[in-house]
Amino acid sequence: MGKRLILFLGLLLGYGSLAWAQQDPEFTQFMFNKVYYNPAYAGVEGVTRFNLLIRSKWTGYATTFDGAGGAPNTQVLTVSSPLYKLRSGFAAYVMNDNLGNLNNLAIQGAYAYHLAIKEAKLSIGVNLGFFSQSIDFSKYRPADINDPLLKTGKDTQVRFDMGAGVFYQARKFYVSASVNHLLSPSFNFGIENLRNAVQPVMYVMGGYFYELSYNLTLTPSLLVQSDFKKALINIGAIAELNEKFWGGLSYKYQESVAVILGMSLLKSKALEVGYGFDYIVHQQDAKQPTSHEIRLSYVLPVSSFGGRKVIRTPRFRH
C-alpha cells in the first residue's frame, strides 16, 4: 500500500506537467500581466504600476466525492517601477494559486537592465525569490487509513526559485521571451522516494500595435508557454478607444474562448478595471464551462524613483 500511496501522491502533485493549471496559473488578460511572465519587463513602461488579478477558474466546480476542494482560484499582485538613474527597473510579485488540497505560493523580486536601441528598448532581467507548496493531507481518501506513509493535517515546504528573460519594445510591436522555475524546486513533504519537481516553463509573448484611427487602436497578442514537452497557445486582440475603453477576444488552443472588457477611471486615467470571461469549448464534460477574472491596476502620478514625468502612450501598454 505504501508504494501505491507514493505513486498516487506523485501523480497528483506532478499533474502540473500534464495540465498547465496545476503548475503555473493561466490568465485570460495575459497581455496586461507581463511582469508576472517576464522579469525583463520590470520598469519598461516608465511608470510605477500596481496590478492585481483575481481569477476563478471553472467557477462552480465541485469534486465527485463530497464537493470538497472546489474550483481552482488564483490571485497575483505585481508592482513595477523604473530606475531612471540606473537605466533599469525593478519589480516584484506575490502569486497565490489554490488547487483543492494543494496550494502554491510564490514571492519574487525582479531587476531588469534597459538598453536603448534607436527608438526601441531592449531589457534583460532576472527574478529571484521563494516558491512554496502546501498540502492538506486530510483531503485525501486512502484505501488504507493505517498506511504508515499517510500523513495527517497540513504540511508546507519552501524552496528558492528564479527566472530570467529578455524583452524588446519597439514603437509598433514587442517581443518577450523568458524561462521560469530555473532552479526546478522539488517537494516531497517528508515522504521518502517522493520527488515532485516544478519543471522549468518557457514563455514567449508578442504583440503588434495598429493605429486604426486617431482615437482607435488594435493590438493582437500571442502567448506560448511550454514545459519543453508540450505547449499551450493563447491568442487575443484588444481594441482601445480614446485610451479609456477597451475590449477584445482571446482563444486558448483546444480549451476556451474569452471576452475581455475594461476601462480607465479618474481624470488621469491612472486607475484601470478589467474583466475576463472564459467559456470552455473543448472537453467541457470534465470541467465547469465558465471562468471569471477581475483586474485592477493603478499607476502612481509620479514615478517613485527618479521623479521623471511620463507621457502615457498606448504603444507601451499592451
- What is the DSSP code string of 11-77? HHHGGGGTSGGGTS---TTGGG-HHHH-GGGTTTTSS-EEEEEEEETTTT---SSSS-S-S-EEEEE
**pLDDT value of position 9:** 39
DSSP state of 20: G
Does 29 or 287 have the greater pLDDT score?
Answer: 29
Q: What is the mean pLDDT of residues 260-275?
A: 95
Report whether 35 contacts 93 (CB < 8 A): yes
Sign for the CA dihedral angle at 29, 99, 224, 282 comes to: negative
CATH number at 123 reads 2.40.160
Q: Which of 10, 8, 90 is nearest to 303 (CA)?
A: 90
End-to-end CA distance of the chain: 52
Separation between Cα atoms, residue 163 and residue 35, nearest integer Å:
12
Q: What is the mean pLDDT of residues 48-63?
A: 88
The domain total for the chain is 1
C-alpha cell at 10: 506523485
Sign for the CA dihedral angle at 238, 241, 247, 249 comes to: negative
Predicted structure pTM score: 0.84
**Residue 236, SS3?**
strand
Separation between Cα atoms, residue 163 and residue 177, nearest integer Å:
11
Separation between Cα atoms, residue 214 and residue 167, nearest integer Å:
27
Separation between Cα atoms, residue 303 and residue 114, nearest integer Å:
17
Q: Which of 1, 23, 25 is nearest to 196 (CA)?
A: 23
**Residue 230, SS3?**
coil
Asked which of 145-149, 172-176, 254-258, 282-286 is least confident by mean pLDDT, the reply is 145-149
**pLDDT value of position 5:** 37
**Segments forming the whole domain that contains residue 298:** 2-316
